[in-house]
């Protein structure tokens, strides 16, 4: 066998890359990781971690408003300081960066700073130095993509939105995916006049239709201004801010525009095109069940391969990859069904399994159980917030094939429900489970009568 510098050379120190590196090193493999930006990747630095922190911050305004009904009065109107949130977030991210560095060091992984370029199936160049490896792992994740239109240079992406010098009192987000919906909610909660512009008739395509409609109503109730079936025609910068012209003839004056219009694999300059590594039709890297590309010694995982763009998926793929290539084990292919997810808009969305629409296509007959109600925590406040819960059941087998929630802490609740759905439990199993009272979550085990079939 040829003598290489490393058994595994990982390009990208995000969640998947770091987990693969550490897990492979634990088997005795010689491992290096190259990173040109920051440890922890998108999730830690400009994704789920700062986003969740900002989502927490945005909930306080609503909580202050609800406090009166419970006997709490604030001596004066609360004020929000953007710089405090931003700088405290930065300190936390720096702490996590250091933890990732220590994890790699303690695992015996060599960290190399710089953008890597793949030269051939076994050689990588970083900052002028060539390294050889038996296997090369591409785990570079995605990069924000902004469509072409006049004034696009005035937009921000999720890479910059967390670190603005000043807080935008008037905020617009372009897009209809979960990132767009989350940031529209976050800046609305922090006190911005918040607009969401989306070319489709309703955001969150691919989610359960009823969940999408309920979320739209609740976001509008909270003050987010939704502009559907329109797009940005142009943006002009003036002394008082940005003038955004929409394709429906409307004009909006705002202080910042976030383009949350999708992400593409961060492959520029990586050298895969020169080697002829096969790509999927959407530009993602094609990889088989063993995470091998069309060049078997070059592996790929995470967002760059076009699967579910979720940190836990990248972590699972990393551990599976190591089992495939650095152990005597022959694991079965990863099961991508029943992956739970959450959208941290306000209110939160939690979902696992099939939507009602997907279930109707797959099964001959289904039962739908749903309820929406005013949560107990709002019974003494002036809030008009409501919660939606929904179960989708295959009528023939009685198996619960989908569970959905829109409401406070939906992600926390659905994580537990996801275990039941993944295990293939039936509606009878749900019915036999005694609920925890008084909670909103108990509704998942007390819905007895089908809403529709």
Taking the C-alpha atoms of residue 54 and residue 167, their distance in angstroms, rounded to an integer, is 13
Which tokens hold the place of 163?
């670190």
The DSSP bridge pattern shows strands 232-238 and 341-343 to be: unpaired
Which tokens hold the place of 74?
């604030």
Instruction: State the number of CA atoms in the 13 A half-sphere of 433 facing the CB.
Output: 17
Burial (CB < 10 A; 0-12, 13-18, 19+), residue 47, is buried
Which tokens hold the place of 167?
């807080």
Which tokens hold the place of 36?
């040109």
291 flagged as catalytic? no
Which tokens hold the place of 87?
């700088």
Taking the C-alpha atoms of residue 270 and residue 410, their distance in angstroms, rounded to an integer, is 39
Which tokens hold the place of 186?
């976050």
Q: Which residues of 188-209 are buried (b: 16+ CB within 10 A; e: fewer)?
A: bbbbbbbbbbbbeebbbeebbe
φ and ψ at residue 263, rounded to 5 degrees = -130, 150
Question: Which residue in the list 131, 320, 325, 437 is annotated as catalytic?
Answer: 437
Q: Are 123 and 130 in contact (CB under 8 A)?
A: yes
Q: Are 256 and 156 in contact (CB under 8 A)?
A: yes
Please give the positions annotated as active site. 437
């Amino acid at each position: 066998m040829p003598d290489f510098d490393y058994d595994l050379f990982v390009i990208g120190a995000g969640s998947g890359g770091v987990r693969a590196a550490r897990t492979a090193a634990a088997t005795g493999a010689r491992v290096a990781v190259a990173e040109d930006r920051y440890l922890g990747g998108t999730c830690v630095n400009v994704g789920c971690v700062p986003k969740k922190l900002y989502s927490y911050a945005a909930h306080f305004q609503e909580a202050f408003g609800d406090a009166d009904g419970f006997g709490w009065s604030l001596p004066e109107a609360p004020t929000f300081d953007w710089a405090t949130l931003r700088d405290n977030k930065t300190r936390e991210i720096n702490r996590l960066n250091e933890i990732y560095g220590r994890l790699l060091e303690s695992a015996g992984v060599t960290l190399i700073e710089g953008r890597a370029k793949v030269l051939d199936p076994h050689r990588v160049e970083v900052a002028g130095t060539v390294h050889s490896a038996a296997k090369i792992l591409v785990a570079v994740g995605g990069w924000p993509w902004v469509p072409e239109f006049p004034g696009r240079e005035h937009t921000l992406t999720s890479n910059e939105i967390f670190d603005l010098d000043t807080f935008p009192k008037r905020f617009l987000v372009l897009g209809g995916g979960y990132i767009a919906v989350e940031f529209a909610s976050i800046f609305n909660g922090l006190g911005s006049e918040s607009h969401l512009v989306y070319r489709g008739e309703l955001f969150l395509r691919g989610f359960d239709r009823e969940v999408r409609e309920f979320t739209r109503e609740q976001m509008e109730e909270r003050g987010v201004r939704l502009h559907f079936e329109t797009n940005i025609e142009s943006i002009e910068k003036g002394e008082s801010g940005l003038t955004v012209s929409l394709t429906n003839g409307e004009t909006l004056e705002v202080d910042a525009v976030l383009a949350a219009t999708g992400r593409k694999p961060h492959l520029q300059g990586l050298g895969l095109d020169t080697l002829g590594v096969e790509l999927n039709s959407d530009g993602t890297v094609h990889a088989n069940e063993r995470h091998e590309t069309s060049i078997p010694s070059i592996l790929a995982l995470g967002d760059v391969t076009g699967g579910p763009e979720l940190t836990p998926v990248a972590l699972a793929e990393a551990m599976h990859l190591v089992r495939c290539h650095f152990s005597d084990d022959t694991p079965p292919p990863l099961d991508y069904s029943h992956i739970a997810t959450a959208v941290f808009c306000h209110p939160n969305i939690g979902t696992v399994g099939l939507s009602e629409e997907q279930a109707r296509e797959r099964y001959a007959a289904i039962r739908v159980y749903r309820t929406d109600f005013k949560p107990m925590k709002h019974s003494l406040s002036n809030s008009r917030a409501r919660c939606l819960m929904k179960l989708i059941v295959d009528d023939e087998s009685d198996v619960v094939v989908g569970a959905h929630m829109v409401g406070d802490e939906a992600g926390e609740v659905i994580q537990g429900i996801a275990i039941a759905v993944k295990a293939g439990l039936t509606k009878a199993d749900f019915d036999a489970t005694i609920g925890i009272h008084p909670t909103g979550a108990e509704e998942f085990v007390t819905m007895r009568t089908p809403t529709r079939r």
